[in-house]
Amino acid sequence: MRQGLRSRSGTVAAIGVVASVSLALAGCSGSATPSASADGNLVVGVTTDPDTLFPWKATQFQAVNVLQNIYGTLTEYDEELNVVPGLAESWDTSEDGLTLTFNLRSDVVFADGSDFDSEDVKFSLESIMDEETAAVAASSLASVESVEAVDPQTVELALSAPDAALPSNLAAINMAMLSSDDTEEALNTTPNGTGPYSFDGRVANQSITLKKNDSYWGDEPGLSSVEFRVIPDEASIVTAMQSGNVHMAVFDDPLVAQTAEGGNLAVAKTPQLSYHTLQLNAQRGDLTDVNVRLAIQCAIDRQEVLDTAAFGEGEVTGPITSPAYRSDPAARPCAERDLDKSADYLAAAGKDSVTIQTIVSQGEYATSVNEAQNLEAQLAEANIVLDLEVLESGAFVDAWVAGDFDAAVALNGGRPDPDGMYGRYFTSTGNLNAVAGYSSPELDELFAEGRATSDEAERKAIYDEVSAELENNAAWIWLFTAYTYTATTDNVDGFVPMANGSLQYLRTTTIA
């Protein structure tokens, strides 16, 4: 149900208080799950039910966190975000860079007991590339011309050009390897993967439960089961943890994290590659004029947004947050707020004022509404009106994927490689270009150059140019990066928080 922020801001707050009290009481009731979990059953508190269980279309953080524990990918990231073997135990690149050969593990089976082999890889990659699939990471395979199953344990990818980003891109859960016998419809009901845990059951809008995959090819998972329990308010999750009914949660709100510290709870603070942004759709309305977009950029004090929404817990950022390619946040028009320049840009567009319809997610991450309200207040001083529409997480994702918005207050996941981060957004053939709302021949050429070389210094220079193109045209307004706060009860051990927000190390987690 879509409703404007102004008409229900008081109602939202009231509902939040009632929900917090109700959930807190429920967490303390006699029917609650016992705090001791001697059989290795971990309960993770989450604020939103996953909107899909099909990994090729998952963009919502909660869905990704569940699916990366069910499915496997050809490559993976280690805790330092290095690319390491996954379902492929090794890979080789030909001297000319045009053939990539994957050597698959021989001891892998799907949750339904069927064997994983090269035909499943061929099926998965070709399906992801098929436009009809509408896979959200299809553009990451843009260089792949063909996939050949050489033998059951060997797959060859023929490339149109060298692609230094491909091994990293294949580690994303949107590149999950599926059984060639499965369908999207079946997997949205009963996922069937090769990961450390397998699907056990779901109660809509309440919980998803996974169980240990006894046939997992890697080290034996440390938990018998993992339940992702939906509790729509982070403060209520803290209450449930303090009473022992939830054992782990990842928070966005630093104040909530602060209340969780102490007693039987520990909190780990992890800087994130994900970035907070005001997405502008340059294909719609007044935003087609670069001067309007630059007027918006110059009217925003990013540090104020960070201070207001996240209490200063983070850093102002440019487009690229990948550690080796990080953008300089000062290398942009109006590195500091400049209302005079904003007015000049608006005048150059022939406008006295503009109104921008803006969608905001509620429930997927904690700071969204506070960010939107601060942006609304700042831009009002520049005669720029953000007409805010607050949507529940699923409705926001639907509108976002369809590109059905003028602007969006968003938290997007960052990646270790900038091609995987932005190639699908800001190239003319990118499968999420409708979401980005911006592309150019210059960006097409730069992304192609970035994939074609493996020299890190050369790639850094190329992605600096990408960042400059995006900033100078105010494609989006990049705001800040922040932290996640992983809270665990004192009987939980072995979980490793990651800078990309992954919960993949639930596989090494134990509970006393």
On whether residue 238 sits in a domain, the answer given is no
| 189 shares its domain with 286 | no
**C-alpha to C-alpha distance for 101 and 110, rounded to whole angstroms:** 22
**C-alpha to C-alpha distance for 333 and 348, rounded to whole angstroms:** 15
**C-alpha to C-alpha distance for 24 and 29, rounded to whole angstroms:** 9
pLDDT for residue 483: 97
Contact call for residues 180 and 204 (beta carbons, < 8 A) = no
| 162 shares its domain with 278 | no
pLDDT for residue 338: 98
| 295 shares its domain with 216 | no
**C-alpha to C-alpha distance for 482 and 306, rounded to whole angstroms:** 8
| 142 shares its domain with 277 | no
On whether residue 261 sits in a domain, the answer given is no
| 181 shares its domain with 325 | no
CB neighbour list of residue 447: distance below 8 Å, 6 or more residues apart: 419, 422, 423, 426, 427, 466
On whether residue 315 sits in a domain, the answer given is yes
On whether residue 88 sits in a domain, the answer given is yes
| 305 shares its domain with 408 | yes
CATH number of the domain at 421, please.
Answer: 3.10.105.10
Residue 256 backbone dihedrals phi, psi, to 5 degrees: -65, -45
| 216 shares its domain with 277 | no
On whether residue 40 sits in a domain, the answer given is no
Contact call for residues 477 and 490 (beta carbons, < 8 A) = no
What is the residue range of 193's domain?
48-202+210-220
Beta bridge partners of 511: 492
| 288 shares its domain with 185 | no
Domains in the chain, number: 2
262 in the Ramachandran plot: left (φ > 0), alpha (ψ -120 to 50) or beta?
A: left
CATH number of the domain at 215, please.
Answer: 3.90.76.10
| 308 shares its domain with 421 | yes
pLDDT for residue 363: 81
On whether residue 370 sits in a domain, the answer given is yes
| 395 shares its domain with 468 | yes
Residue 7: C-alpha distances to residues 2, 12, 134, 179, 389 (Å): 11, 10, 35, 48, 10
pLDDT tens across the length of the chain (512 residues):
233 333 323 333 333 333 333 333 333 333 333 333 446 999 999 999 999 999 999 999 999 999 999 999 999 999 999 999 999 999 999 999 999 999 999 999 999 999 999 999 999 999 999 999 999 999 999 999 999 999 999 999 999 999 999 999 999 999 999 999 999 999 999 999 999 999 999 999 999 999 999 999 999 999 999 999 999 999 999 999 999 999 999 999 999 999 999 889 999 999 999 999 999 999 999 999 999 999 999 999 999 999 999 999 999 999 999 999 999 999 999 999 999 999 999 999 999 999 999 999 988 888 999 999 999 999 999 999 999 999 998 899 999 999 999 999 999 999 999 999 999 999 999 999 999 999 999 999 999 999 999 999 999 999 999 999 999 999 999 999 999 999 999 999 999 999 999 999 999 999 98
